Structure 1
Amino acid sequence: MILNRAMECMDRESMRKLQSERLIETVKRCYEKVPFYRRKMDKMGIKPEDIRSIDDIHRLPFTTKHDLRDEYPFGLQAVPQSEVVRIHASSGTTGKPVVGTYTKNDLAMWAEGAARVMAASGVTKGDIVQVSYGYGLFTGGLGAHDAAGLLGAVQLPTSAGNSEKQIMLMKDFGSTVLCCTPSYALHLAEVIEKSETVKKEDLKLKVGFFGAEPWTEGMRKELQERLGIKAIDIYGLTEMCGPGVGGECEYQNGTHLWEDLFYPEIINPDTLEPCEPGEFGELVFTSLCKEAMPILRYRTRDLTRLIYDKCECGRTAVRMDRILGRSDDMMIIRGVNVFPSQIETCLTEFPAFTAQYFITVDRKNNEDTFDLDVELRSEYFSPNPSKQMPYIKPLYDRIVSMVGIKPNIHIKEPGAIQRSIGKAKHVNDKRKFQ
């Protein structure tokens, strides 16, 4: 189902006209209401009247996560506090959190964006949407919650954690839709498989909307097989709104971005110049409708490309290819660029391994070390190292082939690697503290 056909299927010329109108208004609001942007634009010699169309967007300043933290908490806010109706924030585990504030209209826009994604995969009034994202300052829980409400579906706000109870409610209440991180969905699948009271066949789940962390096609296949659902990628970020900046349609051939609300660009992360159409680079967003906290040219650090061909579903909304990784997640080990997602891709190619892994990078005797903890499934596991080798060797060879460096692989008992109810943590780079 297409929720907003006028916007999701708009022809390219009309879309660019709409984007131009909204960008001009956004730039004017930022310059007049946000001292941070006025200072930046003045320093660059730019006035709002210099921005006449979406083609002028490259003249505007970039915004980074550091900027948002430096302006913590409300330095980028463009409305008086009396117009703010909700505040969200990132975890802030590496410093001050990134804050997002919302007016009533902002929340309505956000709910529609997320609802477009759910509607694209057939969610309707008759569905029961189990929201297993965390509720609170994290945008996931309430973002999915409001989207389900807009569609008239039943909202089941279980939040994250207490997995056994999650499964019980999933069965007893007849949940048809699951919303959570992909790593937590995988953990729920493990709980179901170990349960003596609930089996996959007892559930009515048909689709899952998974986001908030990178995941691979291999994990999608595993989730679909183990939960008996269609696994859909929903994309978002606190700096724009939360889940609902875009998402996959039923054809799963790229993530549609709602470019009437958030204008996407791809830039070279080194030169900051625009990339050629179809070229991979860093994704940049400009909010086109936000009232409380409009953002100009936000550098997401996500590495991907944009596809402008019309989709099989009929939507003309631009599609984002699979995210290769984040420029700030990339590790350089022995001179080689390594993304955690590459390790996950390798693991999911071998049925004997779970998708759980943990990377430890260190430096000893002036040389980088790369240790990889992985799990064998219970039916393959043996504590005898000699019996582990037939599984380690093919994985080792595949990682060397794909990534280009040699890992020290350590087999752990099933369930030994810590699961996460939120965003999964896969890397400990000890070199940062040396």
Structure 2
Amino acid sequence: MTELISVAEAEALVAQHMPRFGSERVALERAAGRLLRQAVHAEHDHPPFDRVMMDGIAVRWHDPLPREFQLAGTQLAGMAAQSLDSGGACLEVTTGAVLPGGCDCVIPVEQTRREGARYLLLDGCRPARGQFVHARGADCPAGSLLLEAGMRIGAPEMALLAANGVVEVEVAAVPSVAIVSTGDELVAVDAPLGQGQIRRSNDVAILAALRLHGFDRIVRHHVADDGPATRALLADLLAAHDVLILSGGVSVGQRDYVPESLDALGVRRVFHRIAQKPGKPMWFGAGPRGQVVFALPGNPVSALVCTIRYARPALLASMGMAAGQPEQVRLDGPVDASELLTCFVPAHVHSDAQGSMIAHAVPSRTSGDFSALPRTHGVVQLPPGQATAAAGDVVAFYRW
């Protein structure tokens, strides 16, 4: 029997053997959702000019300020900068326009009344120098670091890329992933159930856990508990994909053919079996061309826990995602744990009145019971050493 390794050892070994998937350049409109692999600096001052923030009139502020101004022209958004020479005059301005030369104050139109070619300030209007002026470079000066490599490109990041003239974006290349379900008892989702059969669900759950984080090069396969068939399928997949994620066939049963098939195909075992519950039988190995193989237990909760705890974060890190610490949550009550094993327990999380994250455990009855998982947000990781984790304990939390 293979000796159990700790969760920390398994995590470190996976990280040591992960390949780097490189990068590619894509058009800006295709960059949303991808991992950024370049630093982005401000092309120019933001804003690039003193910018008007309200529709109204632009004036030169002095004390005392006149209560009426002679209209000297208009400054619209997109126009070249106009100039104001007289302290008793004003220019009509619109939001987003360049602040006219000689002006340092914008008075909102709601605080004025126009009478012919002059503007009068309403009672109670007390303008101040610099009001409603978005100063050049106030957001950031030219050359400032705006985006760092490793960030996920969302809507705000897309806006910054566009505003700084980034037409093509260097992003992480997405690895090709094959997900394989093993087992005689498994049938397709749309197939009728015969005696002793269940529908495949692990592959769909693993696919979702990856696709929701930007992995879109995924295929799914199924193989029965048959040695030659398992070796043939795995040989084809190792030749075509960067990553294999298998579900089932990794225990020590008489029909668990995955480890011996991988060994026959030149995939070197890095570890087999982790001191955790659920997910103890997990297997991980490295292929002859740098491929990696995550062979997960077949029970649904075990497979999903191993996916979110090992496979997904390792793939994201290999693509260049900036490393971060797991969320920390506080248990709202005692939870069964183990003196020997790290326990992963499904939990619902919420924020308390002080803004701390609180976890309410929703334990599965078995590692095959996934019916309650939709009412949870992820799993808490309970370290070994005690039979029960106490209410108030702060533990790591991993989201589905």
Give the alignment's TM-score, normalised by structure 2: 0.31
Bigger proportion of residues as strand: 2
Report the structure number with the largest CA radius of gyration.
2
Bigger proportion of residues as helix: 1
Q: Looking at both structures, which has the greater relative contact order when contacts are Cα pairs under 8 Å and sequence separation is at least 6?
A: 2
Give the alignment's TM-score, normalised by structure 1: 0.29
